[in-house]
């Protein structure tokens, strides 16, 4: 399998310039720079136009850029030359007239500095130009995402088989992160959420000191990051004791909502229509007040990427997109259930990339005596 084609990515981005009303773009979003150049460091920008492709960086990265980025000019600055001066020099030399910047990634301070130093070009605000390209994963990216899923799934297998009533949320997080690394991950794709009972009712809780034995419900939201920077994102709830009838009902409702939504994923479907499939199931069961977040999101180099699956998202699914589907019901002070899988939109429908079992009976953990 050959690697990513950065030249073709940059050409596709260049083709969006006319519509955006720009003749050059200053890319400062870290993941966007990585996507377009292969550079894995930080604090570096890419200047892109038809005639000039320049990585703006500093002396820490001289060797790394030479190794990682081919076919690009490089402007390495020293500590006395701020980024805005380096950028202004490149813009002047390349004779840009309408210079786009990434409104989602440039700080107000950086913008002011550029504005003060660039006289020859007009600064034009842009949003999502590279992010829209990143929505559709190419073949190589899909192999990376599958790898990130493999690392996450092997990792949770270790957690599950070593689960004990006297473990804390923090213990589990440590075991999980170490296990994913042992299967090749550079680390977790994001800070794993490990929540016993009431902690699981907080959709974005941190792992704390509760013991597994303190509730029959344990929620884990986790993923791995590959060496290439791609991520996975799953959630499972484990049943570690005797559950109430309400717990079982909530679990079955979330699972049904998730399966209905996944079934609706195909090219041409709007994100809000897919979201509505899950929301309807949860509302019919009387839990709509307890499902506040969107249904899911794209992911790849970042854990949250375009597209967004929410009740107000008009975005349309296309082959090659990879999204999470993660409905949840959170009963404050009691427990929360969220079930999250990673789905690829295919030419004819979808493929569920994740394979950790998700039925209620699969969630029941028997402790070793």
| Cα gap 24→55, rounded to integer Å | 13
Identity of the residue, 4 or 328, whose beta carbon is nearer to Zn ion in the bound complex: 328
Identity of the residue, 130 or 324, whose beta carbon is nearer to Zn ion in the bound complex: 324
Contact 248, 360 (CB under 8 A): yes
Burial-class residue 85 by CB neighbours within 10 Å (0-12, 13-18, 19+). Answer: middle
Smallest separation, CB 358 to Zn ion (Å): 14
Smallest separation, CB 152 to Zn ion (Å): 10
Show Cβ contacts of residue 353 under 8 Å, excluding neighbours closer than 6 positions. 145, 146, 149, 322, 341, 342, 343, 344
Show Cβ contacts of residue 344 under 8 Å, excluding neighbours closer than 6 positions. 137, 142, 320, 321, 322, 350, 351, 353
Q: Which residue has the tokens 């992911």?
A: 299
Smallest separation, CB 324 to Zn ion (Å): 4
Smallest separation, CB 310 to Zn ion (Å): 12
Q: Is 258 helix (H, G, I), strand (E, B) or coil?
A: helix
Smallest separation, CB 137 to Zn ion (Å): 16
Identity of the residue, 305 or 340, whose beta carbon is nearer to Zn ion in the bound complex: 340
Identity of the residue, 251 or 299, whose beta carbon is nearer to Zn ion in the bound complex: 299
Identity of the residue, 77 or 293, whose beta carbon is nearer to Zn ion in the bound complex: 293
Which tokens go with 17? 């310039």
| Cα gap 195→211, rounded to integer Å | 10
Identity of the residue, 75 or 233, whose beta carbon is nearer to Zn ion in the bound complex: 233
Binding interface with Zn ion (CB under 5 A): 221, 233, 324, 340
Q: Is 158 helix (H, G, I), strand (E, B) or coil?
A: helix
Smallest separation, CB 219 to Zn ion (Å): 10
């Amino acid at each position: 399998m050959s690697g990513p084609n950065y030249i073709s990515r940059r050409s596709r981005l260049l083709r969006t310039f006319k519509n955006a009303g720009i003749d050059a773009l200053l890319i400062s979003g870290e993941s966007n720079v990585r996507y377009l150049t292969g550079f894995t460091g930080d604090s570096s920008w890419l200047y892109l136009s038809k005639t000039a492709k320049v990585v703006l960086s500093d002396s820490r990265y001289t060797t790394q850029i030479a190794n990682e980025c081919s076919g690009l000019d490089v402007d390495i600055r020293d500590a006395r030359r701020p980024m805005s001066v380096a950028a202004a020099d490149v813009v002047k030399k390349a004779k840009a007239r309408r210079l786009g910047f990434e409104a989602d990634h440039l700080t107000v301070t950086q913008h002011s500095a550029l504005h003060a130093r660039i006289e020859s070009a007009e600064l034009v605000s842009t949003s999502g130009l590279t992010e829209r390209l990143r929505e559709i994963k190419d073949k190589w990216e899909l192999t990376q995402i599958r790898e990130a899923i493999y690392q996450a799934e092997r990792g949770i297998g270790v957690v599950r088989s070593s689960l004990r009533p006297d473990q804390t949320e923090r213990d589990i997080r440590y075991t999980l992160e170490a296990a994913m690394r042992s299967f090749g991950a550079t680390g977790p794709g994001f800070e794993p959420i490990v929540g016993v009972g009431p902690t699981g009712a907080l959709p974005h809780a941190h792992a704390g000191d509760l013991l597994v034995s303190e509730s029959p419900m344990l929620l884990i939201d986790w993923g791995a990051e590959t060496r290439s920077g791609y991520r996975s994102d799953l959630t499972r709830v484990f049943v570690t004791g005797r559950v109430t009838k309400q717990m079982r009902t909530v679990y079955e409702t979330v699972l049904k909502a998730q399966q209905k939504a996944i079934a609706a994923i195909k090219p041409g479907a709007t994100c809000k229509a897919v979201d509505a499939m899950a929301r309807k199931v949860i509302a019919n069961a009387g839990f709509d007040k307890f499902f506040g977040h969107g249904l899911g999101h794209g992911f790849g180099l970042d854990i949250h990427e375009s597209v967004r699956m929410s009740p107000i998202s008009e975005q349309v699914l296309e082959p090659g997109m990879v999204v999470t589907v993660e409905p949840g019901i959170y009963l404050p002070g009691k427990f929360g259930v969220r079930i999250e899988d990673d789905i690829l939109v295919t030419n004819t429908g979808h493929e569920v990339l994740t394979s950790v079992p998700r039925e209620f009976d699969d969630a029941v953990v028997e402790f070793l005596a």
